[in-house]
Amino acid sequence: MLKRLLSSDHEPEPPAVSVPFDALLDVAQSERRRQCLRAVNEHGQLELTDLAEIVAAAEVNTTREHLESQQRKRVYVSLYQTHIPKLDDTGLVRWSQANGTVCATTETEPAVDALDDLADRTTGGDC
């Protein structure tokens, strides 16, 4: 905050995220986790199968309708076994294995905004 007050360009302060910094950096290391966060943030709640399709389509630069079965399955398994549990553990999403849904939390949007801000500051927004 002091840095912002002393700054002459008055950039807006990054959103507050209560997730530990190391956990947020761990999330940022994986494009697949960042894609999951963006999709859940946009939709609020998604079936894991739908989330896997959204992420897979983004990865291969196609539409959900044009995905091959193997592309869907590969991403679904990865989300189920690794990425969604990690996002759930950090509190960035809530995952209900019982009904197969992934939901946004109060931390989802600030985390997406913080990661996007970090990407803009470090890579020109290509994150």
Give the per-residue SS3 of the chain: CHHHHHCCCCCCCCCCCCCCHHHHHHHHCCHHHHHHHHHHHHHCEEEHHHHHHHHHHHHCCCCHHHCCHHHHHHHHHHHHHHHHHHHHHHCCEEEECCCCEEEECCCHHHHHHHHHHHHHHHHCCCC
Residue type, 116: D
**20-123 adopts what CATH topology?**
Arc Repressor Mutant, subunit A (1.10.10)
**R_g of the chain computed on alpha carbons:** 16
pLDDT of res. 105 = 95
For the chain, which ranges sit under pLDDT 50?
A: 1-8
User: 58: which 2 tokens?
Assistant: 């983004």
Residue 5: predicted pLDDT: 41
Which pTM does this prediction carry?
0.81
What digits encode the pLDDT tens for the residues 49-60?
999 999 999 999
Predicted pLDDT at 6: 43
C-alpha 43/C-alpha 19 separation (Å) is: 21
